[in-house]
Amino acid sequence: MRHRVLLTRLGLVLAVMALPMPVQAADALDRIIKAGVVRIAVPGNFPPFGDTGADTKLEGYDIDTAALIADALGVKLDLVPVSSGDRIPYLTGGKVDLVISSLGKDAEREKLIDFSAAYAPFFSAVFGPERTQVSKTEDLAGKTIAVTRDTIEDAELTKLAPVTATIKRYPDNAATEVAYMSSETELVATGNIVAAQVLARSPLKKTTIKFLLRNSPCHIGLGKGEADLLARVDAIITAALKDGRLDRISERWLRVPIGDPEHPETAK
């Protein structure tokens, strides 16, 4: 009986071994190169990262970055405008190959997708004229700072500012910007997107970053386990940071050189 059981089990093992091995699916990088096109999810209504221009074509920081990636891969670019909530589902559902849509990295998202190196700065900070000597929260003592009420910047500033600092709260970003630009306040606490508008409208004020309140740089989203594609995208970002291509994109849309996206204060 024991011999028959052993022979039966051996027969099953041999039968399984004789079955044809499944063909391994091509990885994402192979699929992109063979198709000659890369599908990239981008923002369609989030300037300056992505928006519809006067010619009805998409334009913005992420659009230029997507074009840079496609060009470096040697393939055509298929832009797929998505809402913030659709960015990850489009990637995990196979509707796009990459997500370049002001995507921040966190632990929950890392369970679902992988992230490239940072390609763009996205942060909240205290900004002010170049001549104003402020580099840390203690330096806010005796200063007036404009901030939009009930924002991340408001919460961080309220928590960190010395008691002698005067925080002036405004109902929206436009009012906050006007207060700073008209010198109603010495400094402004805001996000780098709003700061880009300030820089564009007041070049003589020479506004610079004083210190960060919160940093959440943008990363390119990729499917889980796509090691070859991740390595290729990271290499493209590294080269573009080194040769100035990402600097030019940042200066075009954010009015400042990129510096190190992980440490945007280096762009001072």
Tens of pLDDT, residues 2-55: 545 444 454 544 444 444 433 334 599 999 999 999 999 999 988 899 999 889
Q: Give the pLDDT mean for 239-268.
A: 85
Half-sphere exposure of 265 (CA within 13 A, CB side): 14
Q: Give the pLDDT mean for 202-207.
A: 81
State residue 197's pLDDT score. Answer: 79
**Considering just the CA atoms, what is the radius of gyration of the chain in Å?**
25
Binned at pLDDT 50, 70 and 90, residue 204 comes out as confident
Instruction: List helix spans (H) across the chain.
Output: 2-18, 28-35, 61-73, 87-92, 107-110, 152-160, 173-181, 192-201, 227-243, 245-254
pLDDT of 209 strictly over 60? yes
Fold entry, domain 28-122+216-267: D-Maltodextrin-Binding Protein; domain 2 (3.40.190)
Please write the tens of the pLDDT for every residue from 61-120.
999 999 999 999 999 999 999 988 899 999 999 999 999 999 999 899 999 999 999 999
State residue 21's pLDDT score. Answer: 39
| Contacts of 78 by beta carbon, 8 Å cutoff, 6+ apart | 37, 38, 39, 40
Give the global pTM: 0.76
Please write the tens of the pLDDT for every residue from 150-196.
888 999 999 999 999 999 999 988 899 899 999 999 999 998 888 88
State residue 106's pLDDT score. Answer: 87
Place domain 130-215 in its CATH homologous superfamily. Answer: Periplasmic binding protein-like II (3.40.190.10)
CATH 3.40.190.10, the chain: domain bounds: 28-122+216-267, 130-215
Rounded to 10 degrees, what is the CA torsion of 238, 81, 101, 200? 90
State residue 12's pLDDT score. Answer: 46
